């Protein structure tokens, strides 16, 4: 039941019984999740709950101790699967190559896989950088950019891949509200245009409830709840309610 036009649509992601320990300490305690093709799936949870580790397993950077991640029913650990589907990840830290310029970073995928002639690559790179609100930085090196700019370059680099599955690790942290909205719009546009499947890790409640089709809450390596945004909001679990409703309430005593 593999797609007739794998290039035209997003892919389904199945995570089954995923467990992972580092140095004897279990970080993921058996995660089960399914992300439907073309869905925007937001993953929220406190710091250190295992969100980044989970993303690394989804794209095949880490090998699980138990359980499996599959793309369209095929295991991600196989190189053939990683070759067949186009996937991209926006790292929490950006993870740009420091020895390359912004333009080289963004164009790297096309250059290394020889997918386009050089002039075309220049055009695509400019287009994707425009999309994330950056221009005139092509020749700069990553260490000359601010944290938010690096993040946006990293998003542009992921967009160049024209992915069927895109993983965002905190896409809007470090961004000002205006750019954050642009990025959120871009995530939605990408879904509409090519039906890409998006898995978004975020602390940003506005982002999650603004764009996600479904939301999962993860705490200490366990999924507490996954469902439509409205159901997450109504969920009575006190942990979830506290996480969703935390506010700054600072009382200054006089």
Ligand X SMILES: Nc1ncnc2c1ncn2[C@@H]1O[C@H](COP(=O)(O)OP(=O)(O)OP(=O)(O)O)[C@@H](O)[C@H]1O
Q: Please give the residue ranges that form the binding site for ligand X (CB under 6 A).
A: 22, 27, 45, 47-53, 92
Measure the CA–CA gap between 9 and 164, rounded to whole angstroms: 6
Measure the CA–CA gap between 147 and 178, rounded to whole angstroms: 15
Name which position in 16, 34, 36, 52 contacts Mg ion (CB under 5 A).
52
61 binds, among another protein, Mg ion, ligand X, none (CB under 5 to 8 A by kind): another protein
From residue 48, how far is each of 27, 203, 218, 221 by CA, in Å? 9, 12, 10, 9
Question: From the CB of 240, what's the least distance to another protein, in Å?
Answer: 30
Question: From the CB of 173, what's the least distance to another protein, in Å?
Answer: 16
Cβ distance to ligand X smaller for residue 37 or 46: 46
Q: Which stretch binds another protein (CB under 8 A): 23-31, 87-95, 185-193, 200-208?
A: 87-95
50 binds, among another protein, ligand X, Mg ion, none (CB under 5 to 8 A by kind): ligand X
47 binds, among ligand X, another protein, Mg ion, none (CB under 5 to 8 A by kind): ligand X
- The reply to whether 98 sits near another protein by the rule CB under 8 A is yes
End-to-end alpha-carbon separation of the chain, Å?
68
Question: From the CB of 107, what's the least distance to another protein, in Å?
Answer: 11
Question: From the CB of 22, what's the least distance to ligand X, in Å?
Answer: 3
| Number of residues engaging another protein in binding (CB under 8 A) | 22
Instruction: Identify the burial level of 23 via C-beta atoms within 10 angstroms of its C-beta, where 0-12 means exposed, 13-18 middle and 19 or more buried.
Output: exposed
Label residue 217 left, alpha or beta by phi (over 0 means left) and psi (-120 to 50 means alpha): beta
Measure the CA–CA gap between 92 and 72, rounded to whole angstroms: 26
Question: From the CB of 11, what's the least distance to another protein, in Å?
Answer: 15
Instruction: Identify the burial level of 177 via C-beta atoms within 10 angstroms of its C-beta, where 0-12 means exposed, 13-18 middle and 19 or more buried.
Output: exposed
CA 206 to chain centre: 16
Contacting positions for another protein (CB under 8 A): 56, 59-61, 82-83, 87-89, 91, 93, 95-99, 108-109, 112-113, 157, 161
């Amino acid at each position: 039941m593999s797609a007739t036009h794998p290039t035209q649509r997003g892919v389904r992601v199945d995570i089954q019984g995923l467990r992972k320990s580092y140095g004897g300490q279990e970080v993921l305690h058996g995660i089960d999740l399914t992300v439907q093709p073309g869905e925007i799936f937001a993953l929220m949870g406190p710091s250190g709950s295992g969100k980044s580790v989970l993303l690394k397993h989804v794209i095949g950077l880490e090998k699980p101790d138990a359980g499996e991640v599959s793309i369209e029913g095929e295991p991600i650990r196989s190189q053939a699967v990683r070759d067949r589907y186009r996937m991209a990840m926006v790292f929490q830290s950006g993870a740009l190559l420091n020895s390359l310029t912004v333009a080289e970073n963004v164009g790297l995928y096309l250059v290394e896989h020889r997918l386009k002639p050089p002039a075309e690559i220049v055009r695509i790179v400019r287009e994707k950088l425009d999309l994330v609100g950056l221009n005139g930085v092509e020749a700069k090196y990553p260490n000359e950019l601010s944290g938010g700019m690096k993040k946006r370059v990293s998003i542009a680099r992921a967009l160049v891949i024209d992915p069927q599955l895109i993983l965002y690790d905190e896409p809007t942290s470090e961004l000002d509200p205006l750019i954050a909205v642009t990025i959120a719009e871009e995530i939605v546009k990408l879904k509409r245009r090519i039906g890409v499947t998006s898995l978004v890790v975020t602390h940003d409640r506005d982002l999650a409830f603004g764009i996600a089709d479904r939301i999962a809450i993860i705490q200490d390596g366990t999924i507490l709840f996954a469902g439509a945004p409205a159901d997450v909001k109504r969920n009575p679990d006190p942990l979830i309610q506290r996480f969703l409703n935390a506010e700054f309430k600072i009382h200054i005593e006089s």
